[in-house]
Amino acid sequence: MNHPTPPIAEQRPHSFERHGITVEDPWAWLRDAGYPEVTDPDVLAYLEAENAYFETVMAPHQPLTDRLFEEMRGRIKEDDATVPQKDGDWLYWSDFETGGEYRRWWRKPVSGGADELILDEPALAAGKEYFRLGALSISPDGRYLAYAIDDNGSERFEARVKDLTTGALLDDVIPGTLSELVWVADSSGFLYGLANDQWRTDNARLHRLGTPIDQDVELYHEADEGWRVSVGETQSRRFLVISAGDHVTSEVRLVPADDPLADPILVRARQPHVEYDVEEHDGTLFIHTNDTDPNFRLVTAPLERPSEWTERLPASGHFYMTGVTTFADFFVVEGREDGLDQVFLHRYEGGEGTAIAFPEASYVVGLGDNPEYAVDKLRLGYESMVTPGTVIEYDVATAEQRVLKVQAIPSGYDPSKYATERLKITARDGTQVPVSVVYPNGFPRDGTGKLYLYAYGAYGYAVPPGFSTSRMSFLDRGVAFAIAHIRGGDDLGQQWYLDGKLEKRTNTFNDFVDVARGLIDHGFTHEGGIAIAGGSAGGELMGAVVNSDPELWGAVVASVPFVDVLNTMLDETLPLTPGEWPEWGNPIEDQAAFELIRSYSPYDNVAPQAYPPIFISGGLNDPRVTYWEPAKWAAKLRFTKTDDNVLLLKTNMGAGHGGKSGRWESLKEAAEEMAFVLWQLGMEG
């Protein structure tokens, strides 16, 4: 292929020894010693050179990128608005102006009256390269709006308070927050958490309006550096919730919302590998926990004796209970039955729960925006791979479902043009791995087709088989789209997650490769006809499978990829590392963990072999996957690989983990990635 000469990152001798093993890392210098400030001129020069190379290589394909962007934009309702929802005396909603990048937030009195613009994101984002609204919370009396913003992608938010009666900002400004903002009952203040120097939220604090920040009261501090603290509230709003935990263990404290300085109520002291979360109804705690089974069960306890648990709903081998929400007259249990979303209503007096029925064989559904406690109708969100996002109102008394809104697609959408299937493909150890596939009618099943395969496979996150307007640009060009529900996610229950982490981590990579080969066997595609994509931990997956099975892939998109796993897990000063050891293992103390991580860490296993075309992206301000991980990986690939396939590294110099902000700017990045894939699959026309 005729490409301009790519930049080459020099090698500088660097090595370290651990567990008697010496590890060479000649690109370690790409980590700026002054991080999180990145000022090293050599580092910046390399990143800028890679960005310039990216622009040069992609320039001939700009017409395709532009077409894709216009297609994607044409499927989005520019002046879209959410369905207004009642919360107390007000109806709340948000919308976009035509052409707007960011939302505006509105309310009006339930009793009638004018619309009030309570937060104007476009005005807040004006002149900024990056903008993201984090927490947003209205005080119980409806007077104050607390919100938090990030204007550089570092995920260190600044909390502010607006008086909605006057429109004025209060002097209360709290920099460095990383949490929700949760009001106390009398609207005099709110709970929040600060990020410490290592970007870890190890505290819950109370701020009273009008008082200096240095007088804020720390209600809880977590001593374990691997744990994180979050704040929330029960659905009844009687209690503020302070939760602490890592990836495998949790501990919850309750604070009366009308007496936030009261001694917190510890529900149950932490027990290794036991997770739980808590709701409350009329003095009874409803506790969702995996204490006896990885599929979770529901127990109750009196508020006065919160650690005395009585089983209400047992764990099930087929139903994975993912959450419980208590309302005034009933409670809702959400979960997945054999991988398919389910919602059940239960009465407090007992009896069988009522399942809410849905028409399709495969779909995504869950509770939507339901801020109030005493309700007789529920908002649900529903979609599938062929059904656009739908807001449903469910009448609890009659079981009637009323559609309030269907995602509008201005350029038109005909679901009959597409078909979807849910397959089970046998992995090499005999495990049946679910796969969701959507494809255009007439798609060839003779192995000649092209396929885009996506997965994540970590942290117990299940990739839902939902709807995507951007995906239609693939489908309308004859490309099938598949989601591999591999181990490492909790698609089939928590055990599915446990079977893809720590010493079982390689199951995740093997599942993905085996799904790809299974889709070839099913006639969807052929070796080299598969484009694959994943981000963050899913980017680790991309790095692992291009090392192990490079011949399978026709194109690879690795977004903010977690590929320098060994070095990151050995560096306890990095923001996430101690909290990640339960997920990946602790290679500092555990030689077996060191050797296992070293055996699959994508950066450490780059080999002198042919690699498929790869598009790598990173964010200079990313606190989750630091910018040098994708940079080092790209540098080592360039030096080591034996092919002349294109390799691109694009670093967002003013953004973080999520890429550019704003709905159109982020859409442009999606169009770039899709253009790269179509180019490499030979489908650029």
Give the active site residues. 536, 622, 657
Q: Label residue 203 exposed, middle or buried (CB < 10 Å: 0-12, 13-18, 19+).
A: buried
8 A C-beta contact, residue 500 and residue 524: no
Instruction: Pick the closest to residue 335 from 317, 347, 323 (CA basis).
Output: 323
Using CA atoms, how far apart are residues 150 and 153, in angstroms rounded to an integer?
6
- Say if residue 464 is preceded by a cis peptide, omega within 30 of 0: no
The region, left, alpha or beta by phi > 0 then psi within -120 to 50, assigned to residue 310 is: beta
Q: Supply the DSSP symbol for 185.
A: T
What are the structure tokens assigned to 333, written together? 């249990």
- Helix%, strand%, coil% for the chain, nearest 5: 20, 35, 45
**Exposure class string for 487-521: b at 16+ Cβ within 10 A, else e:** bbbbbbbbebbbbbbbeebebbbbbbbbbbbbbbe
Whole-number Å distance between alpha carbons of 250 and 268 = 9
- 663-680 vs 62-74: helix axis angle to the nearest 10? 130
SS3 string, 509-545, reads HHHHHHHHHHHHHCCCCCCCCEEEEEECHHHHHHHHH
Which residue do the tokens 């009465």 mark? 347
**Could you give the dihedral angle defined by the CA atoms of residues 507, 509, 511 and 512, in that order, rounded to the nearest 10 degrees?**
170
| Residues in contact with 166: Cβ distance below 8 Å, sequence separation at least 6, in sequence order | none
Mark 188-197 as b/e (b = at least 16 C-beta within 10 Å). Answer: bbbbbbbbee
Q: Which two tokens stand for residue 501?
A: 């982490």
Q: If we measure between CA atoms, which residue out of 629, 658, 537 comes closest to residue 154?
A: 658
Contact predicate 456/541, CB 8 Å: yes
Distance of CA 113 to the CA centre of its chain: 38
Give the CA count within 13 Å in the CB-facing half-sphere of 528.
6
Alpha carbons within 13 A on the beta-carbon side of 579 = 21
Q: At what angle do helices 628-640 and 41-58 cross, to 10 degrees?
A: 70
Do 568 and 629 meet the contact criterion of CB atoms below 8 Å apart?
Answer: yes
* Segment holding 597, helix H or strand E: helix 591-600
Give the E-state strand segments of 612-677 in sequence order. Answer: 614-619, 647-652
Q: Rounded to whole angstroms, what are the CA distances from 282 to 87, 183, 301, 329?
A: 20, 21, 11, 10
Question: What token pair was written down for 44?
Answer: 């910046």
107 and 89 Cβ atoms separated by less than 8 Å? no
Would you give the distance in Å from CA 570 to the centre of its chain?
Answer: 24
